[in-house]
Amino acid sequence: MRFATPRTFAPMLIAALAFAVPSLPAAAKQHNNQRYEYDGRYYNNVAQCQAAKRKARKDGTIVGAAVAGVGAAVLGATLGETALIAGGGALVGNQLGKSKKC
């Protein structure tokens, strides 16, 4: 059985490297992906995660104010008391919306 001589070994080595080198950046890029989680959902970058967090904070503020204001109005509070309670509900909703981290 004959082994590869230096004349045939060099072209085979060059051919092997030519096929292997282009695939290295794709393989390296695939393993460096970091995913961020917020509220049970996964995001590919920090910007998307923080945007979801800001949206949750806004939604929490609105829902907190609405629920507390309606609850106070139904229970018979005056207009000023309803506004004060709605403000408190907005504060609580805002804090709950931003409680988790990316």
DSSP 44-61: SSHHHHHHHHHHHHHHHH
Answering whether pTM is above 0.75, one says no
> Exposed, middle or buried by CB within 10 Å (0-12, 13-18, 19+), for 53?
buried
Structure confidence at residue 101 as a pLDDT band (50, 70, 90): confident
CA angle 46, 51, 91 (to 5 degrees): 125
* 48-96 residue pLDDT tens: 888 988 898 999 899 999 999 999 999 988 999 999 999 999 999 888 8
Phi-psi region of 73 (alpha: psi -120 to 50; beta: other; left: phi over 0): alpha
Structure confidence at residue 102 as a pLDDT band (50, 70, 90): confident
Q: Which one is predicted more confidently, 17 or 61?
A: 61
Rounded distance, CA 22 to CA 13, Å?
15
* 22-49 residue pLDDT tens: 655 555 554 456 788 888 888 888 888 8
